[in-house]
Amino acid sequence: MKKIIMLLMLIAPIAAFAQNTTSPDTVCYQTAGSIYTVPNTAGYTYNWTVQAPGVITSGQGTNSINVDWSAANPGLISNAISVFATSADGCVSTPVILDVFILEILPSITLVGPFCADAPCVALAGTPAGGTWSGTGVVGNTFCPGTAGAGTFTITYTVTVGGCTFSTTAPVTVNPIPVLTPIQHN
């Protein structure tokens, strides 16, 4: 127990001197390239650390790195990135730390249909609100079976939040109207 307390007493002052940023960097879920930079000072060597599953893909030793976050799960990664500088004479700076928030939005579509080809247009509903719709038969925020024609189509709902874009799709079926020939008589 005494060893643990001694270790904590040694680590705590180091952590207390680290400089955290006030807000995390927001990274889109499954993003491969995020760039992090500190001001460049001649003669400094920069030592970066990135918490797994983030991977430094380039820049170690410089004032700017590229990090691949594509394997990270959504959510907050506390102390995700840290950097300290070493001057040419061997002096070491206080570390600077940055949290990273991996943003994932899971849009959903309230399913519609099936329709007959002569059915009126219907409003489309998706969450979160404010997204855009696309696909065969989509007119603004509605699906128009008459515009689509008969068949099964894919509609897409796309949401952009914090510079990140997420989409989901759903099938919509439009059935043809039966066609009869004139009544025959004798």
pLDDT digits (tens, 9 = 90+) for 1-52: 333 333 333 333 333 344 555 689 999 998 888 999 999 999 999 999 999 9
Instruction: Name the residue range of residue 162's domain.
Output: 108-175
Q: Are residues 161 and 88 located together in one domain of the fold?
A: no
Q: Which of 68, 84, 103 is the last residue of a domain?
A: 103
pLDDT of residue 33: 86
Domains of the chain: total: 2
Q: What is the rounded CA–CA span in Å between residue 162 and residue 93?
A: 32
Q: Are residues 24 and 99 located together in one domain of the fold?
A: yes
Q: What is the rounded CA–CA span in Å between residue 81 and residue 36?
A: 9
Q: Taking the CB of residue 46, how many other CB atoms lie within 10 A of it? A: 20
- What is the average per-residue pLDDT within 127-142? 96
Give percent of the chain above pLDDT 90.
78
- Taking the alpha carbons of 17, 48, 85, 23 in that order, is the dihedral positive or negative? negative
- Joined together, the tokens standing for residue 118 give 């002569």
CA neighbor of 89 nearest in space, from 31, 157, 36, 43: 43
Q: Are residues 98 and 136 located together in one domain of the fold?
A: no
Q: Are residues 98 and 54 located together in one domain of the fold?
A: yes
Q: Are residues 148 and 119 located together in one domain of the fold?
A: yes
CB distance 107 to 127 below 8 Å: yes
Give domain status of residue 8, yes or no: no
